[in-house]
Amino acid sequence: MLKAWMESRGLTPQELAEMLGVSRQAVQLWVSGKGYPRTPTLAELERLSNGVITARSLVNG
């Protein structure tokens, strides 16, 4: 879900990382499903995506 959303917006992992104040590696972990953002970062990601990206969408892929 996250990868598709990023692609639909033309965002690279680096660009999303800069928007959220995290590392590019962190974003790559989220995209691969090997890690998840911390709660404050998830809240910001949810805000940026207008509710498209949620904790549930990250866990369910």
Other C-beta atoms closer than 10 Å to the C-beta of 10 total 7
**Residue 20 to residue 15: CA distance in whole angstroms:** 9
**61: pLDDT strictly greater than 80:** no
- pLDDT, residue 19, reads 97
The pLDDT assigned to 60 comes to 84
Degrees, nearest 5: CA angle 4-53-23:
80
Q: Is pLDDT at 50 greater than 90 in this prediction?
A: yes
pLDDT in tens, 4-43: 999 999 999 999 999 999 999 999 999 999 999 999 999 9
Domains and CATH numbers, the chain: 2-60 (1.10.260)
Pick the more confident residue, 57 or 9. Answer: 9
Identify whether the C-beta of residue 39 lies closer than 8 Å to the C-beta of residue 10: no
Helices and strands per DSSP (H, E), number in the chain: 5, 0
pLDDT at 59: 84
